[in-house]
A and B are shown apart, each in its own frame.
Chain A
C-alpha cells in the first residue's frame, strides 16, 4: 500500500538556520510528489512538486526539494529560515493510474517553528 512518512511532527529552527523537513514514501510505482504549506486557519498552498524531469525542484519562498528514487525520499529544504516560514508542512504523493489516480495521499505533517 502507498504511504507517506514525515519524520518529526515538530521541527524548531532559529531564524537564518537551515530548514530540513523529511519525507519518505512507500510505493511500488513512481509517484508524483508534492509539498504543501498550511498557515493557521488557512487552506493548503502548493510549495513545489515533482512530476518528471529534473530531480531538484525549486518552489516558492526559497524552498526546494530533491527526489531521490533510491532512497524513496523527497526532503524539503530552505537555506535560511525566516519567521514567516512558521507553519505546518505536508508532504503528499499521487499516482497516474489506479482507482485512486490523482488523489493526494498526505503525510501527517510537520509543524515548523522559527525562533528569533
Chain B
C-alpha cells in the first residue's frame, strides 16, 4: 500500500543534542509537510516542500531545519533541542497545493527531550 512512513516512532534525545527525524513516502506526491503537535493541541505547520522549493512558516524557530534530498524522503533536523520541543512530529504529503487536495499523514514521531 502507498503510504507515508516515519522513523523512528519514538525518539529520545538530550537537551541540546541534534536530532533528525525522517519521513518517506511511496505516493510520489509533490508536497511534503512537517507539523509539530504538542499534547492536546492542533498540529502546527513548521514548513513544507513543494518539489524542491522550501517554504518556511514565519513563526518556525531557526532551530528547526529541513532537507528533501529526493521526492521520496524528507528530514526534520532540530539543531539544539530544548525541553519545549518535546512533541509529536507529523509528516504529511499531498499531490499538489490548493484545489482541496488531501494531505496524507504519517503515524508521527514522538520526541522526548531529557
Contacts and interface: CB of A to CB of B under 8 A. Distances in A.
Do A and B originate from a single complex?
Answer: yes
Interface of A: 32, 34, 36, 41-46, 49-52, 90, 94-97, 101-104, 106-109, 111
Interface residues of B, number: 27
Interface stretch (B14-22, B76-84, B96-104): B96-104
Contacts of A44: 43, 90, 92, 105
Given A41-B108, A43-B6, A109-B41, 6 more contacts: A41-B110, A43-B105, A44-B92, A52-B100, A90-B43, A102-B94
A104 B103 contact: yes
B48 interface: yes
A9 B88 CA distance: 19
Summarize B's interface: helix, strand, loop or mixed.
Answer: loop
Contacts of B110: 41
A106 B98 contact: no
A32 B100 contact: yes
A44 B91 CA distance: 10
Contact of B90 (A43, A49, A103, A109): A43
Nearest to B88: A41
A94 B100 contact: yes
Summarize A's interface: helix, strand, loop or mixed.
Answer: loop
30 contacts: A32-B99, A32-B100, A34-B102, A41-B88, A41-B107, A41-B108, A42-B107, A42-B108, A43-B6, A43-B105, A44-B43, A44-B90, A44-B92, A44-B105, A45-B105, A46-B104, A49-B100, A49-B102, A50-B100, A51-B99, A101-B98, A102-B31, A102-B96, A102-B97, A102-B98, A102-B101, A104-B43, A108-B42, A109-B42, A111-B40
